[in-house]
A and B are shown apart, each in its own frame.
Chain A
Amino acid sequence: MNIKIKKGLDLNVLGEAELEFAIVPKIEDYAVQPVDFVGMMPKLLVEEGQQVCAGDALFYDKRQPEVLFCTPVDGVVKSVVRGAKRKLLAVVVTANVEQAPASEGFTAPEKVREFLCQKGMWTALRQRPFGIVANPADSPKAIFITACESAPLSADADFVMAGREEAFAMGLKTLCGLTQGKVHLCCKPDSTCVKPFAESLQENFSQLEVHTVSGPHPSGNVGTQIAAIDPINKGEVIWTIGLQDVANMGDLMLTGRYAPQKRFALAGPEVRMPRYYEVTAGASLSSILDQQLKHQDHVRIISGDVFTGTTITKDGFLGAYDTLVTLLPEGDYYDFMGWLLPGLDKTSYSKTFLSGWLVGSDCKIAKLISQFFPTKVDTNLHGGVRPFVFSGNFEKVFPFDIYPLQLIKAAIIGDIELMENLGIYEVEPEDFALCEFIDPSKTEIQSVIREALETIRKEAM
């Protein structure tokens, strides 16, 4: 299927990563962070100082004890980080031994699920609705993989997958075994690696369907693609998995060893040399950030993209599902009469600022002008929080057959039946990220949607 998304918005953020790998400085620590996984209740299995091998469980989820969260490297448990109320935030492992040689591949097809759960690979599968780690007992109606992320500065799918074709094919095969339905892979129309390769596999895998998706962000969000291809109805379950995790799954099946690799882009206006890095999942970013931060202060370090990522500190770790680290200037400054000036340098989709006329414009003059007046992208909230006043804006950036404002309001008042009617099961907070971005009343829409989904999930338990 060729999908053309019309509603949305491409935001130009400086500092796109060049298509080359940087030399990775020495990374000692790796972490698995329960906070990366929605709604999880971790139960710790290791203690500080304990020796662990890659694929050994660090903790599990009390909700589904069979799914284990495993260390990606061999080493020693360095610390168990806890926050307020002793909430488990992260288990940090210091890699200290050479990686053990590869063992035998996996050969017992009837026990695939069990194997993936035990080795820690299962956590790469997330289910919709709710965005939680998939339940191994479920049979999803389809599995979605996106290879065309469209958020600003996103990693290039073809670049990060180059050379991993064999593992990728194995991963796809494994996924096909997990569902009775289809496995959907969405690519860019001009994809040079993933799309031709996947199409060549289609002969062997009858369940695999390859789609092309074009158009502005959020065309690359898996939620947008699900809505266009096979929308979720009440009671149905769809699984999603990251592109690189498909290859990681394939690697595990081929070698029997859990050693998830992540190629991520380090990008943004505050990066010295924006490029790609190849690391093991959960890597500490401190040594990379030491080299690449333009400024030490007033910087927002984001694991993920500018709309949905998680704020981390300078000694933070790469998030479990992230393939992008963005560095932005903090917006902690005052803007004199900021609401009154014409505003050529404002980051705005609204036409109330002059720069709003230039964003996303194909006109040559507009592009020329915007070169001289680069817009400031930073983390300033640009105003105070207000009730919703305007309507009709969200629809322009929300490519779903859903009334966004009405759904958000239903979520705020917590009316579960109304939310179900309005399509809450089809969305995740990330689908509302652009609405949140353009909202003049500065409502934290993604949090509202997450809380609503969590309420419904707990209600259903």
Chain B
Amino acid sequence: MMNGLRNFIDKIKPTFSEGGKLPWLSSTFEAFETFAFTPNTVTRQGSHIRDAVDMKRSMILVVIALLPALLFGMWNIGYQTALNDMSWNIDSSVWYMLWSCFWFGFLRMLPLIVVSYVVGLGIEFMFAQIRHHEVNEGFLVTGLIIPMIVPVTTPLWQLALAVAFAVVIGKEVFGGTGMNFLNPALVARAFLFFSYPTHMSGDKVWIAADLWGSDAITGATPLGEMMAGGVRPSASLLDMFIGTIPGSTCETSAIAILLGAALLLLTGIASWRVMLSVVLGGGVMGLLFNAIGANAYMQLPFYYHFLMGGFLFGAVFMATDPVTSAQTNAGKWIYGFLIGAFAVVLRVLNPAYPEGMMLAILLMNCFAPLIDHCVVSRNIKRRQSRIKIEK
């Protein structure tokens, strides 16, 4: 099979090369060819041997790390609908609930994922072709994260617009993956958030009412309840940890996200410094508010912040985006800590938005280069002082 496929690829390759019939598809062809086979290119200069790891390997591992949260999120779409829809029999057998909820969520989620990938990859392929680059794998991750962090009821045309905006304005205008300074997935979410606020959550989040229609009902998220002056979220800590609560599609389950985090940390793809410092920052700020204790929200035990809203998802999958986070190790500590701290500050003190994670990460994305600059400046100063001492 492998040889057959290889021969087939070699046979059709000239069609897409310079001088063939379809040269304008060469980047696209190249992307699919290298998807099937790691290419036979050998080193030309410099180190004769190279590590087997490449961008495809790294990115696919992030996609795999997203799967637990994605699968749970799909199930939770159905489960939330079932809770609000009397026609569902929640007390029926466990397996029935497991499968019917998942199937419902899967069918709701699939169009979002397809639209996100088709629109985003289409634009990526186009830019790669214009620039005569290879297609960058970065969007494999971005394209999956975007549908995971928007409400499931988001109209597809809005999603398509948001993806196009994120890819073009958030990334390609700067030169593509690796050159952007804002996390493209969050750019997409922010685009929806500010352009179509009614379709995004206010203090409540939309839950799908039925499988095919665009009707939606609202459910109260823990963040929304706190925002409205609650003393504690109505969901129990355990529910919030497992994730059987309303929220953006895949952000609710701490346990599924932690599974992904474990994979990212074990493989070394994501920075443990960023993850840890985001949690530390959130924790310290939460404790500080506990100490002040001026209102009910401030008195909320600090660990609630980790389980409410998109805090964990942001810490594990968004703050750790290697392109837009700080690049120096010391900088990563500062960057992550401030994300956690700002997220909690925005939640507790800002009256306009219930969730602060998205804005905290985007804000720190903007400051990451400055943090790095300060860290590197210390190294530069040390080097310059060395000359003075010796002279």
Contacts and interface: CB of A to CB of B under 8 A. Distances in A.
Interface stretch (A26-34, A94-102, A388-396): A388-396
Interface in A305-320: 306-309, 311
A386 B178 contact: yes
Contact of B390 (A11, A233, A389, A437): A233
B55 A389 contact: yes
A242 B165 CA distance: 57
Contacts of B197: none
The residue among A340, A378, A391, A441 with the most chain B CB atoms within 10 A of its own CB is: A391
Contact of B327 (A356, A391, A438, A440): A391
Given A380-B42, A395-B329, A422-B376, A389 B322 contact: yes
Q: Which interface class (under 10, 10 to 19, 20 to 34, 35 or more) fits B?
A: 35 or more
A440 B57 contact: yes
B177 A389 contact: yes
A244 interface: no
Contacts of B376: 403, 406, 422
The residue among A353, A390, A395 with the most chain B CB atoms within 10 A of its own CB is: A390
The residue among B40, B46, B51, B386 with the most chain A CB atoms within 10 A of its own CB is: B51
A384 B39 contact: yes
Interface in A346-403: 346-353, 355-356, 377-393, 395, 401-403
Nearest to A152: B49
Contacts of B273: 392
B50 to A, nearest CB: 5
A384 B37 CA distance: 12
A16 to B, nearest CB: 16
Contact of A338 (B37, B45, B136, B323): B37
A445 B54 contact: no
Interface stretch (B70-78, B261-269, B348-356): B261-269
Interface stretch (A35-43, A193-201, A278-286, A324-332): A324-332
Contacts of A379: 42-43, 48-49
B49 A377 contact: yes
Nearest to B56: A339
A177 interface: no
Contacts, number: 213
Interface in A396-435: 401-403, 405-406, 421-423, 429, 433
Contact of A444 (B2, B46, B55, B56): B46
A437 B387 CA distance: 32
Nearest to A11: B49
Given A380-B42, A436-B47, A343 B52 contact: yes
A137 B50 CA distance: 40
A339 B46 contact: no
B37 A334 contact: yes
Q: Which interface class (under 10, 10 to 19, 20 to 34, 35 or more) fits A?
A: 35 or more
A245 interface: no
A439 interface: yes
Contacts of B268: 350-352, 393
A388 B323 CA distance: 8
Contacts of B230: none
Contacts of B269: 352, 390
B175 interface: yes
A84 interface: no
Contacts of B87: none
Contacts of A11: 49
Contact of B58 (A335, A390, A437): A390
A344 B94 CA distance: 39
A395 B390 CA distance: 27
A234 interface: yes
Interface stretch (B279-287, B299-307, B377-385): B377-385
A97 to B, nearest CB: 37
A188 interface: no
A356 to B, nearest CB: 8
Interface in B183-222: none
A306 B47 contact: yes
A422 B57 contact: no
B23 interface: no
Contacts of A8: none
B50 A346 contact: no
B92 interface: no
B346 interface: no
| 6 closest Cβ pairs, A-B complex | A383-B54, A387-B178, A338-B38, A346-B52, A335-B38, A339-B56
21 contacts: A233-B383, A306-B49, A331-B42, A338-B52, A339-B38, A348-B51, A348-B53, A351-B268, A352-B267, A356-B53, A380-B40, A380-B43, A383-B55, A386-B177, A389-B178, A390-B58, A390-B322, A392-B329, A403-B376, A421-B384, A437-B50
Interface of A: 11, 231, 233-234, 300, 302, 306-309, 311, 326, 328, 330-340, 343, 346-353, 355-356, 377-393, 395, 401-403, 405-406, 421-423, 429, 433, 436-442, 444-447
Given A326-B48, A380-B38, 10 more contacts: A233-B383, A333-B40, A348-B53, A350-B53, A353-B53, A382-B52, A387-B175, A388-B178, A390-B58, A441-B54
